[in-house]
Amino acid sequence: MIGFIVRRFSVSVAVVLGIALVSFIVIQLPPGDYADGYESFLIEQGGATESEAERQANLFRERYGLDRPLPIQFYVWIRDMVTKGSFGFSFAYKRDVGELIAERLPRTLLLAVLAHLTSTAVGIIAGIFVAPRQYSIADNVAAFIAFILSALPRFWIALALMFFLVFTLEQEHVTAFHSPQYVVVPWAFGSVEEARESWAKLVDLMQHIWPVVVIAGLGGVARNMRVMRGNMLDELNAQYVTTARSKGLTEGQVMRRHAVPNALHPIIMYQGTVLPYMLQGELQASIVLGLPTIGTLLLTSLRNEDIYIAASCLLIYGVLLVAGNLIADISLAVLDPRVRFS
């Protein structure tokens, strides 16, 4: 088991390095850089001449290493990341990129994990329910809903839901994690009053983030249900299930002891690819709703050509993708020992 984990982890590290390289190159592909925007700002807003603005822009590139060759920039970025824990400097925010990501990553992971757990639990339960009722009304209705949810774009659902919350329910502060009265309330449980305030803040948080969780998880529910339904049908038609029934086991016992555990094997492996889909849905929903997550930070950095934020955000999403697949591989190896020797 240890050897299996070491091999998978080594491959994951190599993949992450590849993602870092590709992310950095892709960010550099568009013409121009942040210094070009700085030069235009000096001319249009600062009243500087073209020659003076160009000189200032060149000094800016020299100061932050933007005039260096691309391989040197990538090497310095990776070196500082490994040795200093620094993801670079944000030109727009005038702060370390690691600090910006550290502020927003927990919120992003919270939304993605909640959406992932919700979609997985609901999808598996729905798949187990409809599989023994193949081609029934419930199965057809569930299939219709699954296809609709999988086809609808996440950003469209976010826009429709935001319109409904604001103009129909007249809900305020849909573009924030907390209502104004809870923004400065600390998370503390030292006294009864602090615990009561923290609980009220948690309830307020859930009231604000449920739209993102629903939007990001809708497609996941549909996919998990279809995958679980297909796995269950394969297991229910297997010979060992027929043998179990012939021995006198009830349908419930067959489902619990044989069909469901074996049907979970492929879906556990499938979860490694579902997590990025949840992140994609969270990214789209957060951008539409304007929530301060990595998604909105990535969009702003792309607009400003803030290369270190953009590359770091893409790297973070890539790491989460690789981590999801690694966790899925380990979970499958724990559930099915035969995988360790494959």
Spatial separation of the C-alpha atoms in residues 172 and 261, rounded to whole Å: 45
The pLDDT value given to residue 271: 67
The pLDDT value given to residue 175: 76
Among 119, 188, 172, 124, smallest CA distance to 149 is for 119
Q: Is the pLDDT of residue 96 over 70?
A: yes
**Arch. (CATH architecture) of 107-302:** Orthogonal Bundle (1.10)
Residues 295 and 304 sit within 8 Å (Cβ to Cβ): no
Q: Is the pLDDT of residue 266 over 80?
A: no
The pLDDT value given to residue 257: 80
Specify the 3-state DSSP secondary structure of 172. Answer: coil
Q: Is the pLDDT of residue 5 over 80?
A: no
Q: Is the pLDDT of residue 20 over 70?
A: yes
pLDDT in tens, 36-88: 887 887 888 777 788 888 888 888 888 888 888 888 888 888 888 888 888 88
Q: What is the dihedral of CA 159, 143, 224, 152, to 10 degrees?
A: -20
The mean pLDDT of 145-170, rounded to a whole number, is 83
pLDDT in tens, 220-262: 788 888 888 888 888 888 888 888 888 888 878 888 887 888 8
Residues 171 and 165 sit within 8 Å (Cβ to Cβ): yes
Spatial separation of the C-alpha atoms in residues 197 and 310, rounded to whole Å: 37
Spatial separation of the C-alpha atoms in residues 278 and 115, rounded to whole Å: 7
Q: Is the pLDDT of residue 341 over 60?
A: no
The mean pLDDT of 208-214, rounded to a whole number, is 84
pLDDT in tens, 182-205: 777 787 777 788 888 888 888 888
The pLDDT value given to residue 160: 87
User: Token digits for 69?
Assistant: 């060759």
| Mean per-residue pLDDT of the chain | 82
Spatial separation of the C-alpha atoms in residues 123 and 121, rounded to whole Å: 6
DSSP one-letter code for 95: E
- Structure confidence at residue 336 as a pLDDT band (50, 70, 90): low
Integer Rg of the chain from CA:
25
